[in-house]
Copies of this chain bind each other. A is one copy, B any other.
Amino acid sequence: MKSFFLPSSIAVIGASDRDNSLGSQMITNLLYGYRGNLYPVNPNYKEIRGLPCFPSVDAIPGIVDLAIIIVPAPAVPDALEDCARKGVRRVMIQSAGFAEVGQAGAELQEKCSSTARAGGIRVWGPNCMGLVDIPRGHLFTFMHPKVYEDGLIPGRISIIVQSGMLSAGFLADLMSERSIGVGKACSIGNKSDVDECDVLEYLLDDDETDAVAMYLESIPRGRRFVELARTSTKPLVVLKGGKSGAGAKAALSHTSSLAGDARLQNSLLEGAGVTLAHDFQQMMELARDLSLISHTPPKCRTAIVTFSGGAGILSCDLLEEAGLRVAEFSEETKARLGKAFPDWLPAANPVDLFPAFALRGPLAAYRSAVDAVLADPGVDVVFMHYFAGLYRNFDGMREMKEAADRAGKILIMWVIGRREGTRIFREEARKNGIPVHCELSRAVECLAAAAGREQRTFSSVDSEPSVPPTAVDQASRILEAGVGTRIRDEYKSKKLLTCFDIPVVDEQTAETADEASSVAENMGYPLALKGLVPGMVHKTESGLVHLNIGSTEAFNEALAAIAERMGGKGRFLIQRYRAGDYELIAGFLRDAQFGPCVMFGIGGIFSELQQDVVFACAPLSVEEARLMIGRVRNVRLLRGFRGTVPLDEEEAARVLVALGDLGTLFPEIEQIDINPLVVKDGSPVAVDASVILGS
């Protein structure tokens, strides 16, 4: 990657001197801050902006570390050939008109890829806006120079985006607002070769990058991405485009991206420590705040220092809604605050400073209030509200940040007010490394994201499952015994689960009705009776399932009904009936982008409405499985809701680990579903299950 980011020389194929042409903008941008050798390539010019222009790359006398192509799409393969001849190993294709425009474009892109492969060339793009390194002033892009006319705001947040114009628009917006600085902005377009994993890997190692924000339309090497995320100590924020049907269709025509299953992706990314965003500006604010807030106590006991009682109240509401806490001040703090206030006003959290302005002036009031709450051991975070543009500029920002750092506490701000005043305030905040927001809810959202970002070390995605050899042998035998049957029946599926110690319901098969009756009498009621017929997958819909049978009479009725449906085929399954406190689901699947995954969620009709399901890459460690359980939205249900016995999470975690191990060790297993995994008095038991093998 280094030659893309720090090339010693660049050739621009399609350089131009024509006003407003992309090739001309490219040269302008490169001349802005790039100090290596620059070689314009275009047979129509002898010279561009004082630089000698070459008819081909091949004609350049020196070494070309990176070639940037901006000629029309049909001319790109020849340009690549030219690069290969010259021995160029890194090419950035910024031209559009490839896989994103349909079949012909896809073929053209494939032609480029094979040319590149043959020449040992790594390709960035096509259909992208290249690379911008703001601290260095490297603008390897055709974007319009006006974008940075107001000045570049260097920072330590790097960006990876698939969209080109977006990255330009973004940069312009961010630079103008002056509250978020950017390090490297990487527009990767169709990703015919270099993809988000390659770039992310580079940025994770980059000393100049503290956080990475990504807008991605697909994550084809999903498993690798999860691996990188799991090992990252830097905050990663991902905004995934193409989550909806219409969005996915648009993504296909935008950067030729297959968007994939959004729910699975989101859950896997979240589980790998990635923070998910839903809009562009929000993504950047999340990345900035996460990079600035390095340590967060989980509840963020927050002191609110405000000029507006209403904003204070709303902040309380928003903090509590986000699961964070409004700090309780110590008596000492209240006494300290009291000194700054008129007598009639009680000191409390939120600290409404407005009445104190008249006594001491706004800046002194803010400084003493912030000092007082920073000293309170019950305060983790100070959320300061400011009304800019009424008083002179807020000049205590640096001291305040230093005091917060000394106290090991977080300072975050909200500002409204007059345009120029807020701009200055936000710029000051940026320079001092203080997150600043224009909406209360966004500030709280970012704080909650910081609090939710678990600082933990993961095992490698592809660690080896540790399973006793006897279990593996036993499972192998069961799988071999059924060779040729893709979908294993409920009974055989559960036998397989049993090898890996997954608890299953007490059950027995019977070949005949008589045998079934005698099994039932031995087992005792209540029972469930099912008919297992090869090839019939939807047992309930086919009338092959009777639950909660309470008596011999009822059993015989059920038996007759099921036998009729079976039409002489298959066998009976008699189970102890188990009415649980609630139902879970668990499973294993292989995803095209993310590989083997374990699924866990809340079952039953209501939760199906809510789709409360989480995923993680298999195999899992017990610790990872435990964290996975904690990620279901309705986790309260599992933790003793309404007087039920809390779920035995160790046991449930063991089930998830076992599912992951089974799927990982036996590549022939395509899918495992336990539905329901019934929980009674805290113990999970697989009541129905199916194992599907690869076809």
Chain A residues engaging chain B, CB cutoff 8 angstroms: 73, 96-97, 100-102, 104-105, 144, 146-147, 149-150, 161-166, 168-170, 172-173, 175-177, 215, 217, 239, 241-247, 249-251, 253-255, 278-282, 307-314, 316-321, 325-326, 342, 344-346, 348-350, 352, 354-355, 387, 389-390, 416-420, 422-423, 438-441, 550-551, 554, 582, 602, 604-610, 634, 636-637, 641-642
Contact A610–B610 (Cβ < 8 Å): yes
Shortest beta-carbon distance, A592 to chain B, in Å?
Answer: 20
B172 to A389, Cβ gap below 8 A? Answer: yes
Known: A247-B316, A250-B316, A279-B318. 7 other contacts (CB 8 A): A166-B309, A169-B307, A172-B390, A243-B321, A246-B320, A606-B610, A610-B634
- B314 near A439 with CB under 8 A, answer no
Expressed in whole angstroms, the minimum distance between the Cβ of A178 and any Cβ of chain B is 8
Residues of B within 8 A of A308 (CB): 163-166, 169
A242: contacting residue among B161, B317, B440, CB under 8 A: B317
- Do B170 and A416 touch across chains, with their CB atoms under 8 A apart? yes
Nearest residue, chain B, Cβ from A317: B247
Which of A176, A253, A317: most chain B CB closer than 10 A? A317
Q: Which residues from chain B contact A249 at a C-beta distance below 8 Å?
A: 316
- Which 7 A/B pairs are nearest by Cβ-Cβ distance? A163-B310, A176-B419, A254-B309, A244-B320, A606-B606, A247-B316, A246-B326
Nearest residue, chain B, Cβ from A610 = B610
The reply to whether A418 and B150 form a contact with Cβ atoms under 8 Å apart is yes
Contact between A165 and B309 (Cβ–Cβ < 8 Å)? yes
- B317, B604, B607: which contacts A243 (Cβ < 8 A)? B317
Q: Which residues on B sit within 8 Å (CB–CB) of A348?
A: 250, 253
Question: Which residues on the B side are within 8 Å of A164 (C-beta)?
Answer: 308, 354
Determine whether the beta carbon of A144 is less than 8 Å from that of B390.
yes
19 chain-A/chain-B pairs, Cβ below 8 angstroms: A96-B355, A101-B345, A146-B389, A149-B418, A164-B354, A166-B308, A169-B307, A169-B417, A173-B418, A176-B420, A215-B310, A246-B325, A253-B309, A280-B416, A282-B441, A582-B606, A605-B642, A606-B606, A608-B641
In the complex, which residue of chain B has the Cβ closest to the Cβ of A342?
Answer: B97
A553 — nearest CB in chain B belongs to which residue? B551
How many angstroms from the CA of A529 to the CA of B149 in the assembled complex?
Answer: 80
Residues on B with beta carbons closer than 8 Å to the beta carbon of A247: 313-314, 316-317, 320
How many Å from the CB of A41 to the closest CB on chain B? 21
Interface centre among A245, A418, A604 (most CB of B within 10 A): A418
Please tell me if the beta carbons of B321 and A244 are within 8 angstroms of each other in the complex.
yes
How many angstroms from the CA of A348 to the CA of B545 in the assembled complex?
A: 48
- Provide the residues of chain B in CB contact with A320, threshold 8 Å: 244-247
**Measured CA separation A307–B349 after assembly (Å):** 46
Q: Are B246 and A346 in contact (CB under 8 A)?
A: no
From B97, B161, B165, B355, give the contact of A344 (CB < 8 A).
B97
Q: How far is the CA of A176 from the CA of B550 in the complex (A)?
A: 74
Is B250 in contact with A309, judged by CB distance below 8 angstroms? yes
Q: Are B352 and A254 within 8 A (Cβ)?
A: yes
CA distance A342 to B101 in the complex (A): 11
Q: A280-B440, A355-B96 are in contact. Are A344 and B105 (CB under 8 A)?
A: yes
Tell me which residues across on chain B come within 8 A of A314, comparing CB atoms. Answer: 215, 239, 241, 247, 279-280
A328 nearest CB across to chain B (Å): 9
Please name all residues of chain B whose beta carbon is closer than 8 Å to the beta carbon of A169 when the two chains form the complex. 307-308, 311, 387, 416-417
Also in contact, A642 and B608, with CB within 8 A (given A165-B387, A166-B311): yes
Closest-by-CB residue of B relative to A217 is B313
Q: Are B313 and A101 in contact (CB under 8 A)?
A: no
Q: How far is the CA of A97 from the CA of B344 in the complex (A)?
A: 7
Contact of A350 among B250, B309, B420 (CB under 8 A): B250
Question: Bound state CA distance, A117 and B213, in angstroms?
Answer: 61
Given A146-B390, A246-B320, A346-B101; A641-B313 close (CB under 8 Å) = no
Residues of B within 8 A of A146 (CB): 389-390, 418
Considering only CB atoms, which chain B residue lies closest to A643 in the complex?
B541
- The answer on a CB contact under 8 Å between A161 and B606 is no
Q: How far is the CB of A265 from chain B (nearest CB, A)?
A: 13
Chain B residues near A313: list those with CB within 8 A. 163, 217, 241-242, 247, 250-251, 254
Q: Which residue among A144, A163, A609 has the maximum number of chain B CB atoms within 10 Å of its CB?
A: A609
**CB-CB < 8 A to A100: which residues of B?**
309
* Interchain CA distance A253-B345 in the complex, whole Å: 9
Distance of A576 from chain B, by nearest CB (Å): 16
Bound CA span A105–B355, Å: 15
Residues from chain B with Cβ under 8 Å of A244 in the complex: 316-317, 319-321
Closest partner residue, chain B, to A243 (CB atom): B317
Which residue of chain B has the shortest Cβ distance to A245 in the bound complex? Answer: B320
Q: What chain B residues lie within 8 Å of A316 (beta carbons)?
A: 242, 244, 246-247, 249-250
Q: Which residue of B lies closest to A174 (CB)?
A: B416
A176 touches B241 (CB 8 A): no
Closest to A320 in B: B244
Chain B residue with the shortest CB-CB distance to A443:
B279
- A310 B241 Cβ-Cβ under 8 A: yes
Q: A611: shortest Cβ distance to chain B, in Å?
A: 11
Given contacts A317-B243, A418-B149, contact A254 B176 (CB under 8 A): no
Q: Which of B149, B312, B419 contacts A254 (CB 8 A)?
A: B312
- Of chain B, the residue at the smallest CB distance from A315 is B247
A582 to B608, CA, bound (A): 13
Interface hub of A149, A176, A321 (most chain B Cβ within 10 A): A176
